[in-house]
Amino acid sequence: MSDQMLTVATLNLQDGRELQALPELLAQIDTPVDLLFFQEGKRYDADGQFLRYRAEELLGDLGLRSYLTPSQRGSLHELVFARWPRLRPRRHYKPGIPGVFHDQHGIMQFTAPGLDRVLVARSFQWAHWNGDVRLDEAQKLTRYAAPEFASVFAGDFNSLWPDCPGHTEFEPDWQELPPHKRTHKTLPPGIRPNGRLLSDRRALTLWAEAGFISAACLAGDMTVTVNDHVDYGQGAHIDHIVTSPWLAQAIDPDSYRVHVSDLGNRTSDHRLVSVRLHLDRLD
């Protein structure tokens, strides 16, 4: 493994269960993971953070240390696992601490070999029930797409990326869902074209317009990132790895993978996603 390469992955492990499967899940990636964005760490803050440290113990052979950002909506927390000592934390902004602003919640900064600036990272799980909430979250974070930032964001965004040049993303048939679920990821009444149920891509379209780059888009791979039973078979590509424009130079499109496996089907409703960054490609 080159000192100039970082392997990045994101995993929503349903309710944080099936922890014992973590090493085998990550073994699907052909290079050791340096940065794992993890969602749904349910009650990982409880009982002295026992589950958080159990996950870290299971990933001990990979040298991954955990950093937990408390959820502001309940007990499903976001975590980042980073390989020590390759990635050394400089800052971790947690909500609820005085002096932490709305656009800093969950933001981490690491030093990394091959980078002349800090690596900015955050794990995400955006609201599944409302596109306006997701849009509000997106608007708070556009500054991390500025030219001076080396930003990598990943997680379960509950939203589709806008169609990329040369390929069109799978558009679920939301009408196949029962009425109480159809509105979660679709445009709200009043802005639907001809009244049709279409995916609400406003939040990630805003990010794309701000300059963020989707690894999947560069790879031309819009494989659905949830398992077949999710959303009555109408699951979408909603787990993303995105970077700021400067860091996007390092993305290796050929390394991008949505990992589809029997193990993944058994342990979660979301699929593991990974990509490699070659830092020696940066200007």
pLDDT per position as a tens digit, 202-244: 999 999 999 999 999 999 999 999 988 777 777 899 999 999 9
pLDDT above 60: residue 1: no
Q: Return d(Cα 140, Cα 275) in angstroms, integer.
A: 25
Calculate mean pLDDT across residues 122-144: 96
Which of 36-45, 55-64, 176-185, 258-267 comes out lowest in average pLDDT?
Answer: 176-185
Instruction: Give the model's pLDDT for residue 171.
Output: 86
pLDDT above 80: residue 182: yes
Instruction: Give the model's pLDDT for residue 195.
Output: 85
Q: What percent of the chain has pLDDT over 70?
A: 99
pLDDT band at 106 (very low <50, low <70, confident <90, very high): very high
- Output the pTM of the full model: 0.96
Q: What residues does each domain of the chain span?
A: 5-281
Instruction: Give the model's pLDDT for residue 181.
Output: 87
pLDDT band at 2 (very low <50, low <70, confident <90, very high): low
CATH of region 5-281, choose from 3.90.1260.10, 3.20.20.70, 1.10.10.1110, 3.60.10.10: 3.60.10.10
